[in-house]
Structure 1
């Protein structure tokens, strides 16, 4: 895979007054945020519904409908048991591409075991009732194995591919990072399944002894952002340890190196794995950040709503530093990054392009907000 690495500290700044840590600042002139809804408790994922409505997850275990007027509804009934705490809870949500006909939602969450001592990431499908108050016909269509006694590294971004299959990012659960290199488990993987839970026949490890057939790619740490590029390929962000956050374009059957290779180091210092950044048979990231920005949701802008220079850009939320990163791409490389919304220093958990062509972001706070980014 011929990918080009472009670390953040060597970027070229454009349309900006000052470069700080390789990023462009004062780059918000083409947009202004407006609050669609406030008072959300640690919102994690947002999906768009017909009529200008939204459905939003709150990590403590609530799913809420938000009206076009910004009014937040009561928690939607019918969720399965959820293991909350730490990084776990109710995480991403996705509206089916045929939602107007089938009212189907997909959501991923931390699924407890029978005794409540261990958990794993699970993906569920359900239909939203006609009045929007409850989930119906709930089915768990994927459950990460094994379950682990951990409150960290759930991954949990959902993407619907153009062929209708579903991608789900899965974390290494922090304490089990070595399992990311093994194909007999789902830790540190991306999986691909059908909407009915069936394994697609063209998955790369179907029929291979010792490998779970749901696996699409492996050697990942904790993917908390994922989206389809305009050409239909899956892109993802994943958290490194202390440094080494990455953007990857996961391809079928490829090994993305964690924890053998990384541009980060142990918390407090010290090498991880082999203490190297490259090895035969392991993919290089398209881009990495040192220091870590804790990247979360990501989206490509395909509309013309923000004027010249923004269409085709990639947008990534930073949890650590509290800004939205506008990333320019050219020839398969990252050529510039611009900090947006940096003044508020709010943790950006999710970013999506809406049906109106505008960008929407969620701030992961005790008083979290759904923001619409208006063009100036």
Structure 2
């Protein structure tokens, strides 16, 4: 294991108390790593966007050969292999979930699959859900997952970039969250059931590109972050059946500087808890419940690509009261942030030669 020689007190916003930490490089040579899952034996699984699943052993060694049995993915620009998530009964069943882009440049979208992992490879792979319609291009897939306490799964989806108006169309899956049972069936209490004009899998609509999702079991809240255009990145609390407004409301503007809409909020839509303008490009998100950093207890951590940082969202009774910028010293796009079973934070840097980094107390 290589150790970065960085010791510091993190830069602060609003005079917050210093949080001392040390950064350790666990694994290097990962090609655009996207997601991370912790195995019961102390190892880790890491997805690489080009379509590989990599195993980091409990001793921190990155296995040279990728895990066999991963489904074929469409890998181009933002498309590829996205999230890996263990089933709740993984220790007994070996089941895990993968989200990924399928198809080709002319017709593709986000897919959800399930397979068994035996410590070496995947077997028994099955497709549980594919978003529709298939779209042209290679942008805005979402791809994050979260488990809810009722044994259902929420998958985030993007608007396909060129199809943003479809985020207001409940007749497709673009720009939405979908909720599924663990075997891919539609739960019988999904909020759009009974509406013949809507897809039964839908859980919420009006999103742009959701790449961070967290369920807070202590507050029974599902929280997401999503990319805005130029400005208007959002943190949202999800209510079943709610519409979050994109592209009819946003705090951002188009990449050309043109106005997308004159409205930042409208009564018909659920407003964000907060927005980042200018954009930080939020990617992953984690809720801290650990012992290694007591001052971080209950706070949210949002990794950022364009911002090249992690934003700590300090919460009081679930309300964000301040923010702290962390890990800018890496000078890297940070794709994901996770809380490990050991209470440490883990980061994935989004580069062709990306790394898995562990954040531990300085002393």
- TM bucket (normalised to shorter chain) is over 0.9
Match of 1:85 among 76, 79, 99: 76
Q: State TM-score, norm by structure 2.
A: 0.93
Say whether residues 1:322 and 2:308 are aligned partners. yes
Query: Where does residue 215 of structure 2 map in the other structure?
Result: 228
Alpha-carbon distance in 2 for matches of 1:334, 1:367: 34
For 1:252 and 1:318, how far apart are their aligned partners in 2?
A: 26
Contact 2:219 2:318 in 1 (8 A): no
Structure 1 residues 337 and 78: alpha-carbon distance in aligned structure 2, compared to 1, 3 A threshold: same
Are 1:345 and 2:331 an aligned pair? yes
Change (3 A) 1:323 1:209: same
After superposition, the C-alpha distances for 1:70-106 in whole angstroms (9 at most, x for unaligned) are: 2112111112221101101001110112111011110
- Which structure has more RCO (C-alpha within 8 Å, separation ≥ 6)? 1
Cα gap change, 1:18 to 1:90, in 2 (>3 Å): closer
The number of equivalent residue pairs is 352
Cα deviation, 1:188-208, whole Å, max 9, x if unaligned, reads: 000000111110001001121
Deviation at 1:51, TM superposition (A): 1.4
Aligned-residue CA RMSD (Å): 1.7
Paired with 1:228 and 1:267, the residues of 2 have a C-alpha distance of: 31
1:372 corresponding residue in structure 2: 358
Q: Which residue of 2 aligns with 1:107?
A: 98
Check the 8 A contact 1:53/1:68 in 2, yes or no.
yes
Which ranges of structure 2 fall in alignment gaps of 5 or more residues?
1-8
Say whether 1:95 aligns with 2:86. Answer: yes
Q: Return the alpha-carbon distance in structure 1 between the equivalents of residues 296 and 279 of structure 2.
A: 24
Q: 1:138 to 1:17 in 2, by over 3 A?
A: closer
Whether the 8 Å contact between 2:348 and 2:357 is mirrored in structure 1 is: yes
- TM-score, normalised by the number of residues in structure 1: 0.90
Q: How far apart in 1 are the matches of 2:42 and 2:14? A: 33
Query: Compared with structure 1, are the counterparts of its residues 18 and 231 closer, same or farther at alpha carbon in structure 2 (3 Å cutoff)?
Result: closer
Partner Cα separation in structure 2 for residue 353 and residue 360 of structure 1: 6
How do 1:140-151 and structure 2 match up within 5 A?
140-151=127-138
State whether structure 2 residue 147 is matched by structure 1 residue 156: no
Tell me the equivalent position of 1:118.
107
Give matches, 1:1-376, under 5 Å.
23=13, 29-73=19-63, 74-112=65-103, 117-129=106-118, 132-229=119-216, 230-273=218-261, 275-307=262-294, 309-376=295-362
